[in-house]
Structure 1
């Protein structure tokens, strides 16, 4: 199998299929002509004959060709696969379009359409359709339809939510349209996919797959060293935390529990009932926080030679982009431990109380509208210097007013520029926020002191410029290079703080 920019090689795909190689999960799907079903490479059914196999880079292409998703391997569980490019303008634009379609927060209750998508991208409707057809072989609406149906399929199989609620959560305006789409594409009634005993809060969890290798220890260690008492906790192979999300104009507050099943390459997600109506958004945030959709094969092909011990490392993302932005400001030029202390004081002073079944998990990170009103010496009393006070209030106000969007569908360049215009926010903070909150794989905080030491440029007259020059060879995966460089320094140096 060649990396993503080249067409699928059918013989290589068949070998990966026969081996049930999880490294290729989500990178292609196999349509079996004798059954009319399409599967993931990891499917445990008997391997079909080579002459009965057709291979597709995306689930939407398989469904467009008339194949239905396998009920055993469940294609909706596969990590997503998106082509990254720094040279092909069509691929870049197609990727930006997918980022918008995949991000529920980008639409704030508005129903995505080709017209709205084109307007946000600053191109014509025709051009959006053209680049989608060229990159994915389907139209934007076909791609979106497949994602909606697969989201609904997962919620039907793994939760006990009412079908009407699942239809609305998946993006359908009515139950009638949802039932019609399900019958047309899958030849089934939605209730036929129900599995007895499924419940998000107490029963078997929602399964979220990743492609190996994945350094689970490193990911959980990252969150463990930055945990805030009352907000999150990491025990063994499990992370629990409180969470507040906004979906469809409503605010939902509750808790999540994410456990790592390394044998199956999956995260098992459970949530409080209070988050059920926002599950697609919660799932999206968990996938981003743990970087479950990364493609290690493509990343390691570029970074392994320079960082051979980091092949399983991922970029820790954000359960809340706004929270990461505030904590990035708190972490400027201080150690991880010091930044954590300031964040703890902030939560203790401004965080809202919440009940959970987990001992000690009882507070939410302060809402943007709360910190936006933190005038006078309210932040100074916590040990936060004035420059950082101004930055925190500026971020909180911009987020509360809907002027700053910190999620995976945001315009990266515009967001970085907007952040750098705020008081107390420079290039390091803006790129750190882009790396974690915007889930941008090519962020690079060139002024980071720990990064300079890891790259051996700390003695240069202009270390930031030297680091930037060295990083050009790692595009478009510089965020992963940063994580590997920090790991090589054991994360003990100021600059890699929050």
Structure 2
């Protein structure tokens, strides 16, 4: 079918109208979040996986973001719910800023401050987002806030005022006015028209987080269970419901807990959150999405890495492989330092001792979640001998202290758009952080998919012929063909 006349918005890059329409007609999950379809006959925009009858090509307009579709006058579909779509991850400045905005960076409306964090002027920031998404920073932020509010309306029973504030609106009146202006419907009508809130555990808010299938949830939990920090995290592999992950949470002064379970029939994770965290739901959801790598496109990654004979065989037994991330970058950084020159089990033991000595006690409905991980300032104010008392050599205790001071000064908050090489250099500026530790932190905490610790002994052995071992230089040369997904190759080799 000829779709050459089907309009493409400037925000959609790398795809033509024929490819978009074929993906739409096939409801291809690989393109979920990559583009959105505005239907001119209804004024509604949908995800490519929407189950409604496929519109005619002449009625379709394709957009690279929900914000671009809304700026063109389309309203979000109540059936496929564009707010559930995984993000279309790309390694560029515009998408890095988008991710920051999705986490609530512009909820205070301060474009100048965001621009300063990015290292641009506000005019340059506006130009970057206009070029990639066809909308201004404020328009992008408004779309993210409205979609998040819509999500809360359909999935929770939060009072309307709490929905407005959780979605970053300064007042309920402003929320109601913008919602009605953009969507042509009152917030209360969205709640009545929705599918209803998911059943929640007593004293919990429950949200749904979609991903592109498949997802190897069992493998993900197995990896996290071996590295779970005693007192902070709890992983259950045999709970009779497919397993779950729970932890304590501290964001911007709000303290609580969360629990994540898998709902494979919906291609979603179910997130239960303590009501005390209602005010920080936007950044919390962004962190959980990153921790479980929900925005990965496993078909694209496997298609690229599968061309290598060694990786191809391993990936066949790991459909939906993801890189397990970290809820908190500082926490993961400390865990990585504790893992220097010791086994995974040894590092886990040390991390539990660190939490018991320097963490803060808290209550949660999980028997093994008893503490909040120590904040950077708490460790930065400790002495080397106090830190070493958990069973560390003085040199490694000093590295813990150095990293804590680095984080307390804002060092772990990397500027959007920073390259992998720049981030590695910044981490290595901390005395005691070498190449292996820096790449490990970049892979799991900073979410660089091409981070690759070529100095890792396990990777050197796994990539060699049986019984052999590659040198660091040889492994780096072999891994060059795996770029830009070397981090996923590392996981396949570690887990194989």
TM norm structure 2: 0.87
Matching residue of 1:392: 400
Matching residue of 1:245: 250
Kept in 2, the 8 Å contact 1:30–1:53? The answer is: yes
The answer to whether residue 195 in structure 2 is matched with residue 193 in structure 1 is no
Offset at 1:219?
0.8
Any unmatched runs of 5+ in structure 1? 85-91, 489-498
Inter-partner Cα distance in structure 2 for 1:173 and 1:287: 25
Matching residue of 2:231: 230
Offset at 1:117?
4.0
- The partner residue of 2:141 within 118, 140, 144 is 144
Matching residue of 2:216: 215
User: Residue 385 and residue 59 in structure 1: after superposition, are their counterparts in 2 closer, same or farther (change >3 A)?
Assistant: same
Offset at 1:27?
1.6
Q: Secondary structure at the match of 2:432?
A: coil
User: Residue 257 and residue 214 in structure 1: after superposition, are their counterparts in 2 closer, same or farther (change >3 A)?
Assistant: same
Q: How does 1:422-433 map to 2 (within 5 A)?
A: 422-433=430-441
Matching residue of 1:182: 179
Inter-partner Cα distance in structure 1 for 2:265 and 2:198: 22
Matching residue of 1:46: 53
Kept in 2, the 8 Å contact 1:160–1:200? The answer is: no
Matching residue of 1:496: none
Matching residue of 1:59: 66
Kept in 1, the 8 Å contact 2:233–2:247? The answer is: yes
Inter-partner Cα distance in structure 2 for 1:124 and 1:276: 32
Matching residue of 1:287: 289
TM norm structure 1: 0.86
Offset at 1:408?
8.8
Matching residue of 1:13: 20
User: Residue 429 and residue 94 in structure 1: after superposition, are their counterparts in 2 closer, same or farther (change >3 A)?
Assistant: same
Q: Secondary structure at the match of 2:153?
A: helix
Q: Secondary structure at the match of 2:386?
A: coil
Kept in 1, the 8 Å contact 2:443–2:450? The answer is: yes
Inter-partner Cα distance in structure 1 for 2:448 and 2:295: 12
Kept in 1, the 8 Å contact 2:292–2:324? The answer is: yes
Matching residue of 2:8: none
User: Residue 408 and residue 254 in structure 1: after superposition, are their counterparts in 2 closer, same or farther (change >3 A)?
Assistant: farther
User: Residue 242 and residue 409 in structure 1: after superposition, are their counterparts in 2 closer, same or farther (change >3 A)?
Assistant: farther
Kept in 2, the 8 Å contact 1:258–1:270? The answer is: yes
Q: Secondary structure at the match of 1:259?
A: strand
Measured on the aligned residues, the alpha-carbon RMSD in Å equals 2.7
Offset at 1:376?
4.5
Inter-partner Cα distance in structure 1 for 2:216 and 2:251: 31
The answer to whether residue 206 in structure 2 is matched with residue 205 in structure 1 is yes
Q: Secondary structure at the match of 2:79?
A: coil
Q: Secondary structure at the match of 1:263?
A: helix
Offset at 1:340?
0.9
CA displacement 1:270-302 (0-9 Å, x = unmatched): 111111111111111110100001122332332
Kept in 1, the 8 Å contact 2:230–2:351? The answer is: no
Matching residue of 1:491: none
Matching residue of 2:6: none
User: Residue 468 and residue 295 in structure 1: after superposition, are their counterparts in 2 closer, same or farther (change >3 A)?
Assistant: same
Matching residue of 2:84: 77
Matching residue of 1:88: none
Offset at 1:334?
1.8
Offset at 1:486?
1.5
Matching residue of 1:34: 41
Kept in 2, the 8 Å contact 1:244–1:364? The answer is: yes
Offset at 1:206?
0.6
